[in-house]
Amino acid sequence: MSIYDFTVKNMKGEDVSLKDYESKPLLIVNTASKCGFTPQYEGLQALYDQYKEKGLEILAFPCNQFAGQEPGDAEEIKSFCSLNYGVSFPVFAKIDVRGAEAHPLFDYLSEAQPFEGFDENHPIGTRLKEALENNFPDFLEGKSVKWNFTKFLVNKEGEVVSRYEPTVEPKDMTQAIEALL
């Protein structure tokens, strides 16, 4: 199995094969419009602007599984991303990224690069872990995505090479992205 074996839905509900992105490095992110990490859209757009001519694609997947932080419909999400952050990379239909209803793509990503913990030297990493322990302890179990703005880096061959938890800012992935271009 490869990343290119998956099909996802765009904002219009149409099927999109990830084979369309073959031979390109990908950054796949689960997103939300009302999250403390939402300003990362700005950093993601900056990465896209900097590297899209060299082949980088950023694929955003809105998700409402984490404290209901993506309540909007497709049009509201699209408008929010465009008006607030000038997002021009693909934003797909809202999906689940963990649990029984998780899209198979995110099961695959999480299996390839499992959760290894939050950076507890990062002040937000410690707070995020404590918030999950107190409010959503089951989210900490297993390999799956733990919160919004978990990022997976995929090389040109379709292999998942890195996972970045929400506390990692997009600019901090520059070196890893450049290595794949």
The catalytic residue positions are 35
Q: CA 56 to CA 180: how far, in whole Å?
A: 9
Q: CA 12 to CA 74: how far, in whole Å?
A: 8
